[in-house]
Structure 1
Amino acid sequence: MTISLHPDTPQARTLPSAARGSASDGAEESRIRVRLFTKYVALFVAVVAIALLANGLFEVFFYYREHKASLIRVQHEQAEAAAAKISQFVKEIENQLGWTTQLPWSAGSIEQRRFDALRLLRQVPAITELAQVDATGKERLRVSRLAMDAIDSGVDLSSNPKFTEAVAHKVYYGPVYFRRESEPYMTLALAGARKDAGVSIAEVNLKLIWDVVSQIRVGEHGHAYVVGPEGRLIAHPDISLVLRNTDMSGLAQVRAAQAGDGVMPDSLQEATNIQGQKVLTASAPIAPLGWTMFVELPVEEAYAALHASLERLAIVLLVASIFAVLAGIFLARRMVGPIQALRSGAERIGGGDFSQRISIRTGDELEGLADQFNDMGARLQESYATLERKVEQRTAELSESLQQQTATADVLKVISRSAFDLQMVLNTLVESAARLCDADEGTIFRPKDGVFYLAASCGLGAEQESHLRTFASVPERGSVVGRTLLDRKTVHVPDVQADPEFAPSSARRRSDVRTMLGVPLLREGAPIGVFVLTRHMVRPFSEKQIELAATFADQALIAIENARLFEEVQERTRELSRSLDDLRTAQDRLIQTEKLASLGQLTAGIAHEIKNPLNFVNNFSSVSTELIGELNETLRSAVLDDKTREDVDELTGMLKSNLEKVVQHGKRADSIVRNMLLHSREGSGEHRHVDINAVVEESLNLAYHGARAERPSFNVTLKRDLDPAAGAVNIYPQEITRVLLNLISNGFYASAKRKESAGDGFEPTLSATTRNLGGKVEIRIRDNGTGIPPEVKEKMFNPFFTTKPAGEGTGLGLSMSHDIVVKQHGGTIDVNTEPGAFTEFIITLPRKLAAGGTTGGKT
């Protein structure tokens, strides 16, 4: 491989901005070379190491599983073999003992049985003592290797388990015991087939079992042992553990084996032995005795081969890593050198030295890349001669382009600031959708008089756009627009020529459209437009493109709704402006009327004249408030830039502020008019006999629900003490109801005001009481509100006197109540109060109106 850099003739032309050969460039080259070199070396080492490590880990994993399974299997086989040998040992003794119980006691002499017993001792060395008991449980014969023989000893064994268990179960296996604390023994009793044959009891030396256990070799440090049904150790290579009568029931493997009839579950292959050492263990049941054979191998010894395999893997990985480092260094040097030559040559060519040539002889893609750089340098050198002329020409073009871009930027600013210019928004949306969805054409159709016309488009020719705008389309299944409108769902036609239902409209018959996508614009399930994207080639739209088109369609729907709502708001604003002018005129007239009014001289005609525009203003304010809220929620879901959103928030805030002022002044004017109407008339309706308790109850309910409607969070406790003897009273019911509503509402207002200052510990309460006073009836309305100061109490029944904030009252309520009770009904009204504690209004009404009393004629 040959790598060299050699420039051509010194006449090569360079750009004045080139800067080559500096110390900083050399440092940058060195840094890049070292970084690329290190990257390749590290990559090569990582590939080799990961491959070896993965292979080694897989081998170790499967070797571990297979090795462990093999060890457990061998241990199971050893345990089962040992258990079978012990079972066979016991079975043989049981078979040899069986022929001593075949004959009844009357069939032979004691000497003959003694002879048979001695012969059994010679044939079965494990039996050290044999006793024969007759059917009544009396010992008749005992022959022993270790003690004197006994004939007809008469020992009663009828209640001994050796006899009773043998008779009941035909065979009895006694517990293990140690004679002279040295050798293990057990008792084996066998009953004859005949009832009069008796029972033969043999004491069996279990040394053979210890020999079997001691001969089992499991690795170098493994061993086997036998455990009885109570968890006591029966046989173990360490006889001292057996002699100490060691309890093994505390070990997990012993408990698990006893629970599983001598077989441990697979989940307990690793456990802890009596010495606290981790071991692999297996078990097998010893069938006739209920014993369990265990075989154990220390875990360290079991996994020694695995540890050796890991060490070999580490050595191989280390050697392979060293080799990978060396190989990586070699390969990286061969790769980085040509790349550095390419970089240096490309930097000089990029600096303007078009005469620079790169010479690389590697015979691969790098050499081809160097040749391409050389060709590029040659072409640049050739084209540089005409560059100045082209620069001048291009400068003029750029100047013109700059003017176009400036104009475009101004248009974009107008679009960003005109979010409610529907046509501009629709054009922007359809252009963006066509560009992002890789469509050749984009159109939006909107309805008008039962047909759909072109509302916005991009990519259409002038003639095609003219046709679509001239000929409005009627929804038909033949066109994609009609199918989308009729089905009210997205319609995607991959190839219109292959679609049997497609029948292009007259406006599209000369177009070369092949693929079409239609997305409906639905408002409350009804179509208000169609968003259409088309392609001139058969290229179906992807799922993502269809979703993106649906998103643009949603934005178009939001824009249409925004424009509609904005137009409605503008129209309502104009109406509001006119209504405000009427309201100002009415307020001026009302102020003049209020100044001239005195003690009932207010005319109902003026009040009625004001009432009509006032009702319109109040109703319009309520509708406009809901409309502004709906507009604000819609605009929040629209995609607007920050400037447009600020303008929209400013506009809606201004409208909302104006409406709040209108509502405030409307309430004040409505209160003034209502009090004028009430104060201007001497009575209302006809007087008649009514149940005064029913009037009080109805007034309480009306006032309570009205207060809760205005302030849902306010709760007041109502108390009633209505005297059944109050009975019927001849009154004007509507007028007295107005008085009670006024007093109860004032009580609610005072209680709420005290609640605000007192906090959660205060419970607002209002009580209503009626009393029979013979020819009169007394009504008391009491609240626990803020009370009335003495200076206010003196003036409270004067006309136009009020303590409420401006805009919340006119001061006619108590004055009107005083006139209704005193002047109209001939009663009295008084107040008992304590500031900060309570207020109680006391009304007395005569049961009958005076013959010359005031009338209830309507004004």
Structure 2
Amino acid sequence: MSISLHPDSSEGRTLAASSAAAAPPVQGAQGPKVRARLFAKYVALFVAVVGVALLSNGIFEVFFYYREHKAALIRIQHEQAEAAAAKIGQFIKEIESQLGWTTQLPWSAGSLQDRRFDALRLLRQVPAITELSQVDSTGKERLRVSRLAMDVVDSGLDLSKDPKFTEAVANKVYYGPVYFRRESEPYMTLSLAGTRKDAGVSIAEVNLKLIWDVVSQIKVGERGHAYVVGSGGRLIAHPDISLVLRNTDMSKLVQVQAARDGNANDADALQGSLNIQGQEVLTASAPIAPLGWTMFVELPVKEAYASLYQALQRLAIVLLGASIFAVLAGIFLARRMVGPIRALSAGAERIGGGDFAQRITIRTGDELEGLANQFNDMGARLQESYADLENKVEQRTSELSESLQQQTATADVLKVISRSAFDLKSVLTTLTESAKALCGASLGIICLRDGEVMRLQAESGCTQAFIDFMHANPIKPGRDTITGRVFMDGKPAHVPDVKGDSEYNFGRAPALGNYRAVLAVPLMRDGAVEGVLLLGRPEPGPFSQRQIDLVQTFADQAVIAIENVRLFEQVQERTKELSLSLEELRTAQDRLVQTEKLASLGQLTAGIAHEIKNPLNFVNNFAALSGELIDELNDVLKPAALDDKTREEIDELTHMLKGNLEKVVQHGKRADSIVKNMLLHSREGSGEHRPADINAIVEESLNLAYHGARAEKSGFNITLKRDFDPSAGQVDLYPQEITRVFLNLISNGFYAATKRKEAGDEGFEPALSAATKSLGNKVEIRIRDNGTGIPPEVKEKMFNPFFTTKPAGEGTGLGLSMSHDIIVKQHGGTIDVATEPGAFTEFIITLPRSGAAQPINGGKN
């Protein structure tokens, strides 16, 4: 069946309508309603397109015309305001220039009569000046010449405090406020001081009628005008003289405030501003130098935008006409479109009902005709599809069978990979064999990256000559070989016949491997080429896309196997590292046991020290008492009558006994010092744990150590320096223990500096400095001496117990060890030393401000 439709013929429309009526109704179809909607939609769409285009164009045109017109109006008004302002300023400057020559000479030169003649001549030359007064340097009026009153000579009027005299003297010129005479003419006072101090001041009363004339002559449009506002916001000149005479205040107007704020010509800021009559106007202004006045030019908004309103009216008329035209054109076009669409709808319904032989004929020459042809082609294809459906089903079944075979083979390969996950050679060989078998290839190889080349790792079906060739010629990136290009680009490459290909250089490989067709795919990992999988067939011919995809799948499995082996090796390495860590942990446990033994040793040391303390005290007391008995015995024997020999023997015996007792006392004191240090080194801390001022503790330690050293050694002299940070403040600690540390370090500094002095260093002055510094939640203390310094080998051992470099009898080797334990173990701080042999030694201590105090060992002594 064929449907033919010509939109311009009534027969075509009738035939289309009858065909639609004869067609079986499709479920859910509503022909008349759809037609009505489509018709109205096209009409509305056409009207909207035309209307929106015209309206958008008109709005943009009006908008830009409005901006340009408004800017032009403001610019013209601003030019008029500037011209008028310049004219008024020039008028005042000319008067000021004419007035200037009256202040050139001092009052001592010339007579009053000569000055009167000069003043009269000035009045003739400058009509705007109605009165001239000349005042001497003391402020006394000496001469007044007027057009409106009698001349006055030596009136003696005191103007020394009048602004027109004081301001002129201070600023050389004075412009007075505007005032009116006879309530009709505006005037202002202009005072000018001479360049010499004794020249005095000339005061002129200036008629401003010329300014009024300038303002009255300015015309802006038909109803625009200009006016002048003074610095105080009062109206000075206006075409309506009544407003000026009423002394009108203009300071509340928006345009006047904008001129004061420096936004006088901002069109957006002044849009819609009101003038003094309450009219909406556009305003421009210009300052009048040097008076501080402002010239305003304004134009009513209605007059300014009259042309814009006319343009809007014209636009509305055009839019109305265009809308009427669009409605008519839309109706016409919609009627021409509905007929072909109904014919298409009827043909689609028949095709949907299974009538594939029917055809739709439309002669519109547009997309509707093309759509009808597409419907006809669809019907023809449906007929053909039913004809060869059985062949397609059979072909599809064969493809599915082949796909199932490939998936089964892939599953078998995955099983092999899972069983030999960590034997990379076996896995790669299995993958090569499976890919070769599924693609009908005679050989297959896998090459993996080794630095900048790829080397053969697995093969299947290769001759020994081909294998030797591949080992001797590793793959390099490049475009002359197929494997090199895959290595470089990371994309599969496929050559159906190597003999007929001129793009690649295969060399002797095809002959050694006995292949004509070749396929190479990359092994990709994280965007980098890890290797190449290559298959070759002895007969020429292309590999199918399915085979290429299958080989790519095998290549991806090879990458996974490589990654698994790499991860397994990493796990083994981590296992070795864990074993080493466990061994180190055992070593640390052994060290902990040794530390506990040392703690027990500290308790044993304390017990020994306590046991030695009592007999040592007895020896020291006995030695001291024996010395006193010898002195008393010597005093008793002195008055006795003894011969010289006997007295000599007694003196010799006494001297020997006292020498031996002094040695006992000396060794007893050293033993007592050793016992005290042993007790201090073994106990956990003494005294009260409390907040204390660290600066005060350092100062107290310096004083104690200094006075103790002077008492112990005559002639002791050393320079002390202090640099205490006031913000160091309070620190939570054991004050007695910290004091003991500072005393120990300061005493060592005294000892080192004194030793350097005693070594004969000429010009050397021993010195010791102590400094504190706040570090936020910590405090730093530095104790520095300029003594002999500490050698590197001594620095490594200096905090070890019983280590000392002092001569026998001068040290126990426990001072620095005890200081280290008090700072680090008891207070949670740090102690370090910076030194340079023969130059200085500096101990650096840091203490936490709070919560750091801990016992040194577990028991109490």
TM-score, with normalisation over the residues of structure 2? 0.49
